[in-house]
Amino acid sequence: MNLDSDNEGRQKFSLKTSSPFTEDDLGATPRRIPIPPRPSVPISSAKSKEMPARKVPEQRTVLPQQVTLPPTKQGISTTVVPPLSSTRVSHPQHRRLAWPMAAVLMLLAILTALAAFFESNLWEQSPTQVATTPLIHHGPFVQLSLNATQLNELRHLSGYMKYKQLAAMYVARMPLDVELGQLIMVEYDTETYSSDLDMMVNQLHAGGVIMYEFQMKTFQQTKNDIAQMQSRATFPLIISADEEGGIVHRLSNIYGPRMSATDIANTGDVNVAIQQGHKVAHDLLALGINENLAPDVDVNLINGYDMIDRTFGNNPSDVVKFAGPYMQAMQSDGVIACIKHYPGLGDALTDAHTGLPIVQQSRQQIYDIDLAPFKTFIQTQNKLQNPGMIMPTNVLMPAIDPNYPAELSHIFMTDILRKEFGYDGVVLTDALYMQGIAQKWSMPEAAVLALNAGNDMLLGPTGAAQMIDMLNGLKAALQNGTLSKARIDEAATRIMALKMAYHLMPALPPQG
């Protein structure tokens, strides 16, 4: 537990939410016009006048008992100029200046009074404006339409901190075992909920679970299994599935076949993409699945093994045209979208599950074609088309990084995705047991490389034994210095912030 960073964060938060003055205001040079000092006011009482706040436990917001604030705008006196001394006016040498001086001072007093009046009126209106103006949050995480209760919560304590700030408070309090567990999305090989799965979500603190077709046989069985996972989890789980439609389907036992990405694009109608996005979101949420590992935004160039009917088009503009509305519909309904396979498998011949695909495109071609949809969705001003998550994959593109597959490449994952494109959301690896990775690195080794490259969440461990191996590998890397605690904190914070943004957990400061 990092108490120092926690207390520092709380103190900054108390200044931000308890006073209408910025830090610059608090340190500004006093006015030249003498103003009678105002009595010290506790921050808590000043805050209560401006916006009623829901009561929170004292340990969640440690506020100073007494803080002397500078005079408020309401406190500016209209009689700030001292009266003229009668003895001074009576001297003959000053008599000629007395009336002009009195007139100037009288004018100054009137102007000061008028200024105070208008400022006071404006200041009095500000709480009303705060209460009626829709809250718009700027950041990398998609914001959903909120109900009245959620809007009310955001207007109080929790609403004045960004999701990542709140998430950082949780991370600062997490034991290392819990924090490392949150970085892992686990798989399980049983058809229903098992003791092994229970150990991963309850004792090893997994942050997410991926489900496959053989584990989702009926509606009620699937819904019950997911509910049991969530009831046993340390923090709410991200439950994911690859429900693309076409050849990649996971819910066919329950809902039957679904249009593929290519089927959607072949209609030429973006309204079909919107309709299918809403439909898949409805179907997933009814079961308790909150993330779809879709849409696939690869640009199909050679119709290789990983493409077939999974892509929306043969050029970036078509992919964006249909994948965007599909993703927007899905995310507007509350399902996290995960676009894949960064930086692109559209020109890959080798099956990424059985080997390492090598794409011999030039750097410019990779940017103009493969990376174009990812950059577009990351940088669009339409927040519902900003992907909640991105999945990279094991593809080698020597023109950019001749040494590492993309998902283990610092150049691809940090230099380009984070720094150049500006993505600050969660990156979930492709399965680290895929042969393009496993032929060279063990899963624990790949996990360390993935985190150092810039990924946040690790997909791959199947069962508690493999998860324990990965956790031990991460701990060993922390001890020998090949992995930093700061990188772990950054990844965990993004994951927790995503869970808050999609209301998987409340956006409130942690208890205790």
Residues 295, 383: one domain? Answer: yes
3-state DSSP of 372-388: HHHHHHHHCCCHHHCCC
Q: Is the pLDDT of residue 390 over 90?
A: yes
Q: What pLDDT digit, counting tens, does each position of 323-371 carry?
A: 999 999 999 999 999 999 999 998 888 888 888 999 999 999 999 999 9
pLDDT digits (tens, 9 = 90+) for 392-433: 999 999 999 999 999 999 999 999 999 999 999 999 999 999
Residue at 161 is within a domain: no
User: Do 226 and 300 have their domain in common?
Assistant: yes
Average pLDDT over residues 136-158: 43
Last residue of a domain, one of 132, 155, 174: 132
* Pair (315, 417) in one structural domain: yes
480 and 385, same domain (yes or no) = yes
User: Is residue 335 assigned to a domain?
Assistant: yes
100 and 188 inside one domain: no
What does the block give as tokens for 445? 């080794």
CA distance 466 to 356: 23
179 has pLDDT over 90: yes
Q: Between 276 and 11, whose confidence is greater?
A: 276
Task: Indicate yes or no: pTM above 0.95.
Answer: no
To the nearest whole number, what is the mean pLDDT of the chain? 78
Q: Do residues 258 and 330 share a domain? A: yes
Q: Are 197 and 105 within one domain? A: no
Averaged pLDDT for residues 208-236? 98
Of 92, 112, 132, the residue that ends a domain is: 132
Residue 290: exposed, middle, or buried by beta-carbon count in 10 A (0-12, 13-18, 19+)? buried
Residues 331 and 476 in one domain: yes
Region 471-478: mean pLDDT is 98
SS3 content of the chain, % helix, strand, coil (to 5): 50, 10, 40
Report the C-alpha gap between 349 and 300 in whole angstroms.
11
Element (H, E) at 8: helix 3-18
Domain residues for 382?
A: 184-501
Q: Are residues 348 and 421 in the same domain?
A: yes
* CATH number for the domain that contains residue 398: 3.20.20.300
Top-ranked range on mean pLDDT: pick from 46-50, 104-108, 339-343: 339-343
Q: Quick one: 401 and 464 in the same domain?
A: yes
Q: What domain count does the chain have?
A: 2
Report which secondary-structure segment, H or E, holds 114.
helix 92-132
List pLDDT tens digits, range 230-249. Answer: 999 999 999 999 999 999 99
The Cα 336–Cα 325 span in angstroms is 14
